[in-house]
Amino acid sequence: MEGFKEQYQQELIYQEIKSNKRTLKSFIWFLLAVAFIWLLTVTGFFEVDKQLTTIAFLSNVVLFIPAFFIFIRSDLTRAWIKYFLLTLICVVSGVIASFLSFHAVFAYVIPLLFAMQYRRRSTIWFAFAVNTVTMLISSLASFFYGLCDLNILLQSQHVRSWYLEQMAGGALQIPFNENPIFIIVVFEVFPRSIIMFVFSVMMQYMVVSSNEDAYRIAQLTYLKGTDAKTKVFNQNKYEEMAAEYYPSIEEISVLFWDLNNLKMINDKLGHSMGDLAIEKFSYALASQASNRCRVYRIGGDEFLMIIDNPEQGESERVIRFVQEKLNADHGEVEISISSAVGFALGSGADLSDVVKRADAYMYENKRRSKEGRR
């Protein structure tokens, strides 16, 4: 199953790139949401301190700049990018919570949601740890400089300093706690951290379950489309690609391969040696496989190689390479391995006709080869 594991690892890398792009796009939506709140505030729709909202909005704009440069300049496969983006999201959430206080308590959950899409436990716990630190800092900052929670009861929009001034003037006779930092840490940050911890555990279970399901589905998909003996694509995969993929390809080159003397190998050396000959032959073909060149086993010793939009002379180069590889490496097979091949060019929409022409050329090649040995 080495082929499957390699494909699965490639898929994980592809999924991480997609997750990084989704995070950046979600960042933009987050910024637009804050911009919308800021516009409603400066126009008087929300009775919230305009200066605080403006500071929160501009801070997020500044924080978005490095994320934007990462999107256009960096290799999104780098492992550090997701941790940098998650840290940035935690800081953004902290900024929002610092200035808008009780209006944005939900912002602490956002980094965990961003982390969950990477489907790795390490990213969730990284987001939890950074989020806890930013929550502590933002809680302290919001107490001294953000919107005071008393505004909920008093229908006001003031910060803590305003209430202290009113107390000093005798307008309010409500004593303030003399040790606010301890109260904030113990009765605000600690309970919220516990809630976030529970969220993180739940998300971890969901990620583990999702990964296990994805692995099983990927494995079944791989087995469905892969020949068990040779590890190249099988007839099922060929039919699927013929129906869904190749009709959209402008030009294809079809190489129809047939292993020579398989019956003789089976009769003289046994079927195990015949199987080994087929495996060696398929390895030679698979060595030329790429994103544009796919190999299918469509019969016992018959293989198709289909090249998307081939370069000039590419089919001939592939044929020479495979033949040289077979001549140079017999391995455990005690007789030489050779093959007959025919190729044809055409449109992907006419795949069936192109395959028939390649098949006919292959049999013509086999006939001439037999006549040459007489």
Write the CB contacts of 44 (distance below 8 Å, at least 6 apart in sequence): none
Q: Is 315 exposed, middle or buried (0-12, 13-18, 19+ CB in 10 A)?
A: buried
pLDDT one-digit tens code per residue, 78-105: 888 888 888 888 888 877 777 665 556 6
Residues of the chain with pLDDT under 50: 1, 153, 333
Using the 8-state DSSP alphabet, how is residue 175 labeled?
P
* 3-class DSSP state of 76: coil
**Long-range contacts, 123-127 (Cβ 8 Å, 24+):** 123/82, 123/83, 123/86, 124/200, 124/203, 124/204, 124/207, 125/200, 125/204, 126/83, 126/86, 127/86, 127/89, 127/90, 127/200
The pLDDT value recorded for residue 166 is 66
- Per-residue pLDDT of 112-155, as tens digits, reads 888 888 878 888 899 899 988 888 888 787 777 766 665 554 55
Q: DSSP string covering 260-312, please?
A: TTHHHHHHHH-HHHHHHHHHHHHHHHHTT--SSEEEEE-SSSEEEEEEESPPT
Q: Report pLDDT for 306.
A: 93
Q: Identify the pLDDT of residue 175.
A: 57
Q: What is the pLDDT, as a whole number, of residue 255?
A: 93
Gyration radius of the chain over CA positions: 33
CA distance 50 to 39: 10
pLDDT given for residue 1 in this prediction: 42
pLDDT at 157: 64
